[in-house]
């Protein structure tokens, strides 16, 4: 790993993938472009963000292709709820989460007028372990390290969009191996983020660390971790100094504006 004067990772040598990745950032210290060398499939990626800091779109260039593949993401507050790609414009995926959390419950794959529901089976921390179809048959299964690096995954589903959900609030970018975590990117190979915490020491003394215990703590936004026995929305409201209106029943994470 190499870093610049702002503490941002600028170069990453991945011995597991045999690649070198060079990162560029925008004025808000968010990864805007990645140049990928030595990879058999990908050569470049570009990321775009909206006014709320969410990533609604990314473009990925594959080796031996001229045009980029564009993927667009749908959001509800700070929760990613769907995606589609111009490589197959008739296909889309909708994500459904358990109440008041970022733990995935189901995904709805649609292609034209046909839709199929698949169900997530997760570990204690919300990391997907299996996905089953409506008949209960396992169509995807993954094994990860304690810090979230995928060791192997098996899929026999006819999916246009692969299973990219990881720790709660994290989405695997297969072109880099990093996990997009809303306000930062997480490197599961090192168990740390690629840049310092945007909220500084409010997120903890170590501004790069993911959390003290990835088995029982979560960090859906890449800002501050919390134990699974706490309500995330109320916890972050207290940490950020905001107060939800009295009319809001059981505030939680996707209520971005209190």
Q: Is residue 136 part of a domain?
A: yes
Give the CA distances from residue 233 to residues 84, 87, 102, 128, 216, in Å, rounded to whole numbers and listed in that order: 28, 36, 11, 22, 17
Q: Is residue 14 part of a domain?
A: yes
Per-residue model confidence (pLDDT) at position 41: 95
User: What local confidence, expressed as pLDDT, does residue 258 receive?
Assistant: 41
pLDDT in tens, 122-132: 998 999 999 99
Q: Any long-range contacts for 113-121 (C-beta under 8 Å, 24+ apart)?
A: 118/157, 120/165
Whether 180 is in a domain gets the answer yes
* Domain, as residue range, for 170: 2-193
The better pLDDT of the pair 119, 239 is held by 119
Please write the tens of the pLDDT for every residue from 174-201. 999 999 999 999 999 889 999 999 999 8
Nearest CA among 210, 168, 205, 203 for reference residue 189: 210
The strand pairing partners of 54, in sequence order, are none
Specify if 119 maps to a domain. yes
* pLDDT of the residue at 228: 74
Residue 9 in any domain: the answer is: yes
Q: Lowest mean pLDDT: which of 51-60, 78-87, 88-97, 153-162?
A: 153-162
Asked if the structure places residue 49 within a domain, the reply is: yes
Is residue 226 in some structural domain?
Answer: no
Residue with the larger pLDDT of the pair 159 and 45:
45
Q: What is the pLDDT of residues 153-168, one digit of tens each?
A: 999 888 889 999 999 9
The sign of the torsion formed by the CA atoms of 163, 168, 174, 175 equals: positive
Residue 78 to residue 71: CA distance in whole angstroms = 18
96 within domain boundaries: yes
How many domains is the chain built from? Answer: 1
Q: Which residues pair with 185 in a beta bridge?
A: 180
Q: Is 121 helix (H, G, I), strand (E, B) or coil?
A: strand
């Amino acid at each position: 790993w190499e870093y610049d004067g702002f503490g941002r990772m600028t170069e990453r040598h991945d011995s597991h993938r045999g690649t070198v990745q060079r990162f560029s950032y925008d004025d808000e210290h968010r990864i805007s472009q990645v140049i990928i060398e030595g990879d058999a499939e990908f050569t470049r990626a570009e990321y775009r963000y909206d006014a709320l800091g969410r990533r609604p779109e990314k473009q990925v260039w594959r080796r031996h292709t001229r045009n980029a593949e564009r993927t667009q993401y749908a959001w509800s507050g700070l929760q990613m709820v769907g995606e589609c790609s111009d490589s197959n414009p008739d296909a889309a995926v909708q994500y459904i989460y358990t109440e008041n959390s970022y733990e995935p419950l189901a995904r709805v794959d649609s292609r034209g007028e046909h839709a199929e529901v698949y169900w997530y089976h997760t570990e204690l921390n919300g990391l997907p372990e299996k996905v089953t179809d409506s008949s209960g048959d396992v169509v995807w299964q993954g094994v990860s390290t304690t810090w979230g690096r995928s060791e192997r995954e098996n899929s026999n589903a006819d999916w246009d969009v692969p299973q990219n959900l990881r720790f709660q609030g994290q989405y695997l970018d297969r072109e880099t191996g990093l996990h997009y975590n809303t306000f930062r990117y997480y490197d599961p190979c090192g168990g740390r983020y690629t840049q310092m915490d945007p909220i500084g020491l409010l997120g903890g003394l170590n501004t790069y660390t993911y959390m003290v215990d990835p088995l029982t703590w979560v960090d859906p936004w890449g800002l501050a971790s919390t134990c699974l026995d706490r309500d995330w929305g109320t916890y972050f409201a207290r940490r950020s100094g905001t107060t939800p209106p009295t009319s809001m029943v059981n505030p939680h994470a996707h209520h971005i504006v209190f």
